[in-house]
Amino acid sequence: MVDTRVVLNGVTLDNPVIPASGTFGYGHEFAELYDINCLGTFSFKGTTLSPRFGNPTPRIAECTGGMINAVGLQNPGVAKVISEELPRLRTYFHKPVVANVSGFSVGEYAETCRLLDACPEVGWLEVNVSCPNVHGGGMGFGTSPEMAAAVTRAVKAVTTKPVWLKLTPNVTDIVSIAKACEDAGADGISLINTLLGMRIDLKTRKPVIANKMGGLSGSAVKPIALRMVYQVYEAVKVPVIGMGGVSSAEDVLEMMLAGATAVQVGAANLVNPFACRDIIKKLPCVMEKYGVEKLTDIIGGAHNG
């Protein structure tokens, strides 16, 4: 029997498969399709201090090897998440969940995290300093080591649960930012978020997305994600949560060999709502195929030799 369990900040997960924020909502739509307790955990929709309507439409554009989105952090705000979404989540998901948080100031990040930290359903806080689709927040904090560290320190000062910093790939030196977050107290590094991209409509000769640009995700970004996970794993001692183009059990093993302790699945959920369930089902067979008895044995395995 193979062992798919992994340990993340002292918590044992049945497997390393985690639906990524923004692709799984708060879980209830997927819970109507299958028992989502098969997941390691999941990262719920990016939440801000105040409600957000998001960006104007159209927000999505298809492209070769993936998709571009500019949803703009549409969410009901942290108060409604705590009063409505989390109590409902408790009825169909019986594991600690990852709370994904975004903001437009250091203070907003800290306050939203403080409120979610007090919720028993939340096991981890994933602080998104990497969203390319909003103006005045998100990626603006994640492209500077100093700003990313400032957000990390502010959040850690008001929370007790593990804090991951979700980083943007839209930088020249991902390692310096990851190190700055670790030095400021981060308990994990989550990467990568989407790459900034765009499409142009040949008929109208205008950008397809109303926001002009958006975040590219899907299989096209996987080689970049693997490279960055590999680099960050070598530089930090905290766990790395890897994502970017993951859509199969083989992709999970590859991401873990690069250095990921757990693996998030994003765009694949939007193509196939059963993607994570299917990956988990196939994982033992793929482990046997490649001679892997325990997943924990291969974390960072590509760095050996």
First to last CA, the chain: 28
Q: How does strand 122-128 pair with strand 206-207? A: unpaired
What is the Cα–Cα distance from 160 to 119, expressed in whole angstroms? 11
Q: What is the DSSP letter of 44?
A: P
CA count, 13 A, side-chain hemisphere, 88 = 14
Measured in whole angstroms, the distance separating CA 157 from the mean position of its chain's CA atoms is 22
Report which secondary-structure segment, H or E, holds 271.
helix 267-271
Side chain identity at residue 233, one-letter code: Y
Region of 279 (left: φ > 0; alpha: ψ -120 to 50; beta: rest) is: alpha
**Would you say 163 and 156 are in contact if contact means Cβ atoms under 8 Å apart?**
yes
Q: What is the DSSP letter of 119?
A: -
**Would you say 166 and 127 are in contact if contact means Cβ atoms under 8 Å apart?**
yes
Indicate the SS3 state at residue 288: helix
Other Cβ atoms closer than 10 A to 278? 16
What is the Cα–Cα distance from 271 to 244, expressed in whole angstroms? 15
Helix axes 222-235, 174-183, angle to 10 degrees: 40
Active-site residue flag, 119: no
Which residue in 131, 181, 276, 285 is the catalytic one?
Answer: 131
Side chain identity at residue 277, one-letter code: R
- Tokens 């250091």 belong to 106
Helix axes 222-235, 249-258, angle to 10 degrees: 30
Q: Known catalytic residues?
A: 131
